A and B are shown apart, each in its own frame.
Chain A
Amino acid sequence: MAQNVTNVAQTEEVTSTRRVIAASSVGTLIEWYDFYIFGTLAKIISEQFFPKDNPTAALLATLATFAAGFVIRPFGALFFGRLGDLIGRKYTFLVTLVIMGGSTFAIGLVPGFKVIGFAAPAIVFALRLLQGLALGGEYGGAATYVAEHSPEGKRGFWTSFIQTTATLGLFLALGVILIVRQTLGIEVFNDWGWRIPFILSVFLVGISIFIRMKMSESPLFAKMKKEGKTSANPLAESFQKKDNLKMVLVALLGATAGQGVVWYTGQFYALSFLQNACNIEFVQSNMIISIALLIGTPFFIVFGSLSDKIGRKWIMMLGMLVAVIAYRPIYTVMYSEANLKLKEEIVEKTEKKEKFEVKGADSLITAVTTKEFTDGTKYKETVKKKFPVDPEKKAAMPKDKLKPETKKEVTLPQDLFYKMIGLVLIQVIFVTMVYGPIAAFLVEIFPTRIRYTSMSLPYHIGNGVFGGLVPLISTRLVEFTRPAPGAPPADPLFGLWYPIIIAAICFVIGTLYISNKTNNLDTE
C-alpha cells in the first residue's frame, strides 16, 4: 500500500515536471522562432525596408538592425530579470512572450520603403528592438523556472530541453520559410510572401500564452515570497555586491562568451558561409543546415544529462576546445568542396542564354550561364544589366549604377550534399556540448533571490553580444583580406578568427576559474 502511494506520488511529480518543461519550452521555442525569422530573411528585409541605392549599405543596415536585436538583449535581461526576481517568474516570462509575439506580428504588417519612405526602416528598427528586449527576459525566466522545478541530480537533463529550443526555433524558422517560399514561388515570396512567417507567429504565441496561463509559480520563488525573503533590489544585489559580481564575470568570460560564439558560428555563420562564400543555392544551403540541426538537437539532452553525472565544466570546456581546433579544417573542406576552380567542367554541357527586355524607360539584359562538372556539381550564373533606353541618360549615369547584378548558384551532387551536412553536424555537436549544460551551470551559481537577474545578464551578453556579432565581425574580417573592391577575398576563412580567439580565451578562463562541482539550489 505504502509502495503504491509512493509510486503514485512519483508519477504525479514526473507528469507535473513534464508539463512545466513542455509549457516553458514551447514558449521559448516560439520566441526564438520569432527572433530568427528576421535574421534568416535579412536580405529580403533589407530590400523591402532600406534604400536600395546602395545594396551593401542596405545589407549592413539590416545587419546593424540584427545586431541591435542582439545588443538590446542584455537590457531586456536586466529589466525583466529584475521583474522576475521581484514579482515572480511566471508572470514575467508571460509578458515577454506577449511583447515578442506582438512585435513579430507587427513586422509582418509594416508597409515597405516604397510606400511610407523612411518611416518603414524606423518602425522595423523599433520593433526589432522590442524583440531583443523580450528575448532578453524570456530565456532566463524559462531556465530558472524549469531549474527550480527540477529534482536534484536531474537539473542538467531537465533544463537541456530549454536548451534545445534555440536550435529548434531556428529549425522551425528555416522550415516555415522554405515551405512558404516553395508554395508561393520565389517572386511572390520576395514580394509579399515573406510576411507570412511573421504573421503566423501570432497564432503560435496565442497557443503558448494559453498554455503558460495555466502554470503555477516556481516552488522555490513561491516559498521565498511567502517567507518574505525576496530581494528588494535585485539589480543592486546582483552587480554591486562583490561576491555576486565575481560570479557574473566568471560566468561571462569563462562560459557564456565562448558558448555564444560557438553557437553562432555552428549555425548562423555556417549558413552564411554556405550561401555567400560557397555560393550554395538557397534551398540546398537551408536544407544542409536544417538536417544537421535536426540530427544534432538530441545531443543537447545527451550532454545536459551527462553533465548531471560528470559535472558541467568539462563538457563545456571540451566543446570550446574542439571548436577552436577544428573550425579552420572544417571550413577549409567546406570551401574546397564547393570551389568550382578545383572541379573539372564538362564543356559540351555549358549553356549560355541572353534575354533582352524593355521595362518602361529601362532596358534589361539577362544573361544566364549554366555549367556542369564531372562530379555532378551544377552551376548557374545570372547577370542582370539594367540601363536607361535613352543613350544620353545612360551616358550621364554614374558607373557604379550601371554595374551588373550577378547571382551565383552552386548545386552540389548528393554525396557532397551529405558531406556538407556532416561538416555542419560536427559544428552543431560542438554547440550542444557548450550549450547543453549551460542553463544548469548558470542557475546553480546564483542564489534564488536574484537568480533571474544574475543569470540573464551574462547569458545575453555572451550569447547576444559576443555571439550575435559573429556574422557582422566575421564578414568584416573577410573584407580585410580583399585585395581590391569587388575582387575575391585572399582568405575567405579569415572571419573565423573572431570566434576562435573568443572561444580560446573563454576556454582558458573557464578551465582556470570554474569549478566542476554541481550545486543544490538554495532557498535563502
Chain B
Amino acid sequence: MSVIKRIFGLVWAAMGLGIIPLVIMRAMQEIAEKPTEENWIFWSIVIVVLMPIISFSLITFGIFALKGEYNTLAN
C-alpha cells in the first residue's frame, strides 16, 4: 500500500504541474478567438483563483506522498 501511495504521489504532483500550461493555453486561445467581457471574467477566475489552488495543493500533496509522509494513514 505504501508503494502505491508513493507512486500516486508522482501522479498528483504531475497533475498539479500539468494543469498550469493546459489552462493558460486554453485561456489564451479562447480570449484570442473571442475577447469578450464574459471570457475575460471567466478565465480570470479560473487562472487567478482555481488553478493556483489546484496546482499548489496537488504538487505539495504529491511531494509529501512521494516522500512517504502519508504512509501512516491520516487520522
Contact = CB atoms under 8 A, between A and B. Distances in A.
B27 to A, nearest CB: 12
B38 A60 contact: yes
A444 B75 CA distance: 8
A465 B45 CA distance: 10
B8 A64 contact: no
B25 interface: no
A250 B42 contact: no
Nearest to B38: A60
Nearest to B34: A485
Contacts of B58: 253
Interface string A497-524: 0000000000011001111010100000
A29 interface: no
Contacts of A517: 73, 75
A60 B42 contact: yes
B57 A249 contact: yes
B38 A56 contact: yes
B38 A513 contact: no
B50 A513 contact: no
Nearest to B8: A512
Contact of B74 (A56, A61, A250, A473): A250
Interface string A458-480: 00010001100100110010000
Given A246-B69, A472-B45, A445 B74 contact: yes
Contact of A249 (B38, B45, B46, B60): B60
Listed residue (B49, B60, B73, B75) with the most chain A CB atoms within 10 angstroms of its CB: B75
B5 A513 contact: yes
A60 B41 contact: yes
Residues of A in contact with B, size category? 35 or more
A508 B4 CA distance: 12
B70 A465 contact: no
B37 interface: yes
A78 interface: no
A116 B60 CA distance: 47
A250 B72 CA distance: 13
B53 interface: yes
A252 B74 contact: no
Contacts of A509: 12, 61
A445 to B, nearest CB: 7
Interface in A39-92: 54, 56-57, 60-61, 64, 67, 71
Interface in B51-67: 53, 57-58, 60-61, 64-65
Contacts of A67: 45, 49
Contact of A250 (B4, B38, B46, B70): B70
A251 to B, nearest CB: 8
A512 B5 contact: yes
A513 B70 CA distance: 6
B24 to A, nearest CB: 16
B49 A246 contact: no
Contacts of B65: 513
A249 B55 CA distance: 12
B40 to A, nearest CB: 10
Given A445-B74, A513-B70, A461 B45 contact: no
A476 B44 CA distance: 13
Listed residue (B5, B38, B74) with the most chain A CB atoms within 10 angstroms of its CB: B74
A514 to B, nearest CB: 5
A517 B73 CA distance: 9
A250 B57 CA distance: 9
Interface of A: 54, 56-57, 60-61, 64, 67, 71, 242, 245-247, 249-254, 444-445, 461, 465-466, 469, 472-473, 476, 508-509, 512-515, 517, 519
6 contacts: A64-B45, A242-B64, A253-B57, A469-B50, A512-B4, A513-B70
Interface of B: 4-5, 8, 12, 37-38, 41-42, 45-46, 49-50, 53, 57-58, 60-61, 64-65, 69-70, 73-75
